[in-house]
Structure 1
Amino acid sequence: MPRSLQPRAGGRPHGTPPKYVDLPPDVLEELRRSTRPTAQRDAIARLARAIELLERGDAGAAVSEAVKAKALSSRSSSVREVLGLALYGQGRFQEALKELKAYRRMSGRNDQNHVIADSLRGVGKPREAVPLADEALRDKKVPNEVKAEAVIVAASALADEGRYAEALAFIGRAKTRDDIAEPYTLRLWYVKGDVLERAGRSREAAAEFRKVVRHDQSAFDAAERLANLS
C-alpha cells in the first residue's frame, strides 16, 4: 500500500464519517476533479474507508467499499488504484489487473508496476511481468522500496521459467549493503537465496539466507532453509 494513500495516524471513533483531511491533498484534489459535486463527499468517505480496511488487512471489506467508491467516481485514478490493490490482496489477479492498468493509464504513474507485474505472474503470464518491472526501475519518480519490489517480482518471474542467470542479474540491479537491512532488503536477499538454491548453487544460497537471519532470525523461513543447507 503506498504511504501517500495511508490514512493519517490517530484514527476516529467507529461509525464517524471520515473527514477530507484523512486523505492527502493531491488525492482529494484528484477525486474532486473526477467526481460530480453531489457524489464527492460519499466517494471520499468510501475511499478513506477502503484504505483503512486495507491497512487492517481486510481486503474483502476493502473491495466492497472501493467498489462503491468506483460507482461514484469511476474516473478517479485513486479509486481505481485502491480497488486494484484490494482485489490483489484477495488473490483476484485478473480483476486486479483491470483496475491497476486503468490506474496506470489514467495517472501516468509506474508506482504500482510491481503489483501489476505480480498479478501477471498470478494469471500465468510471467514474461509480461519483466518489462513492467524494468520500466519501474528506470523511473526516477518511483521510490526505492517500490523498485526493490519490482526487482523481486521480475526475478521471481524469470526464475519461474528456469532463467536463473537472468533472475540473478535482475536482482543485481538493486544495490544493497550487508550492514543495512530495510524490510525490502531482507526480501531481496531472501529471493536471491531462493533463486540460487533453485539453480543448484547451495553455498551461495546459504550465504544469502545467513544475511537475512543475521538481521532478523524470524524473517520468512530463512533460518529453516539455512539449516537445511548447512
Structure 2
Amino acid sequence: MAGDLAKELRSELLTLSKENAEGVARHLVAVGRALDAEEFDLALAHAEEASRRAGRVAGVRETLGVVHYRRGEWAKALAEFRTARRLSGLDHLLPLMADVERGLGRPERALELAASPEAQRLGAAERVEMAIVVSGARIDLGQTAAAVQHLRDMAEASAPNVPWAARLRYAYAAALEADGKPDDAREWFARAAIVDEVGETDARELLGVEPEPDFMDLTGDPEPEPEVEVDAEAEVGREPVVGSSNERPEDPEVDRA
C-alpha cells in the first residue's frame, strides 16, 4: 500500500513503527482516491485518522490541509499548511497558502506571500502556481489589467506540453475575461481545452465542446477530433520559459504521488 505513495512521503513514514506506517499509508492512499471521486467527507475521515496516528509527519499534515482546502475550509487548511511547513522546513506550500488567503478574503496577504524571499526560491511548477494565485488576487482587488499583465508573458511563452499548461492558459483566459476582453478570453480558453487531457479545468464546458464518447468503435472508421476554436498561427513556435515539473494543486496532489 505504501508503494502507492510518493517516494518522499514513504521516506517520512519510516520515522514510524512498521505497523503504524502501513496503517497511515492505507489512510493516505484512501484520501487520494476519495478526493478523486469527490467524496470529501470520506477523504476527511481518512486524513484525520492519519493525522491522529502520525501528527508529526509533515506530509500527513499537508494531506489534511489539502482535504480542508478542497472542502473550502480555509482557516483549517491554512493551519495545517503552516504546521506542515514548520515540520518540513520547505516552502512548496506557499502557493496554496496564498490561495487560502484569497479564500479568506485577504488578497493583500496573498500578494505579500508571493513577494516574500521564500517565494522567489520556489521551483518552476510552484512559481507558475503562485503566478496564477497572484493574478487571481489582482482580480479580487479589481486590478484586472494587472492580472492580465502578470500572466501574459508566461502564458504566451510557455510550451503546450508542460504539466501546468492547461491551468496557466485557463487562468490567463479568466484574467482576460475579467478585464473585459471576451474574444481574447475565448481564444485562451480554447488553448487550455486543447492541452487539458485530464480535465483539470472546465474549459471545454465553457466552450460547449462535448467530451469524447466513452466506447470502442468497432467499425474501423476513426471518429473526428472534437473541434475547438483557436488561432493556429499563434500556437506555432512557442518556447518554454519555465522548466518542467504536482500537488495542486490542481489541483494539488494529496499524497505528492
Q: TM-score, normalised by structure 2?
A: 0.66
Match of 1:54 in 2: 35
- Superposition pairs of residues 4-83 of structure 1, within 5 angstroms: 18=1, 20-33=2-15, 35=16, 39-83=20-64
Matched length: 201
Match of 1:212 in 2: 189
Indicate the percent of aligned positions where both proteins have the same amino acid: 25
- Secondary structure, in 3 states, of the residue corresponding to 2:55? coil
**Alignment partner of 1:128 out of 103, 106, 109:** 109
Paired AA for residue 223 in structure 1:
L
Greater relative contact order structure (CA < 8 Å, 6+ sep): 2
Offset at 1:133?
Answer: 3.5
Q: TM-score, normalised by structure 1?
A: 0.73
User: 1:156, 1:132 → 2: CA distance?
Assistant: 14
Contact 1:39-1:72 at 8 Å conserved across structures: yes
**Alignment partner of 1:97 out of 78, 81, 85:** 78
* RMSD, aligned α-carbons: 2.9
- Alignment partner of 1:139 is 2:121: yes
User: 2:111, 2:62 → 1: CA distance?
Assistant: 21
Gaps of 5+ in 2: 195-201, 209-228, 230-257
Match of 1:195 in 2: 175
User: 1:191, 1:47 → 2: CA distance?
Assistant: 30
User: 1:31, 1:178 → 2: CA distance?
Assistant: 36
User: 2:43, 2:187 → 1: CA distance?
Assistant: 37
Q: Which moved more, 1:185-194 or 1:112-121?
A: 185-194
Greater share of residues in helix: 1
Match of 1:160 in 2: 140
Paired AA for residue 187 in structure 1:
R
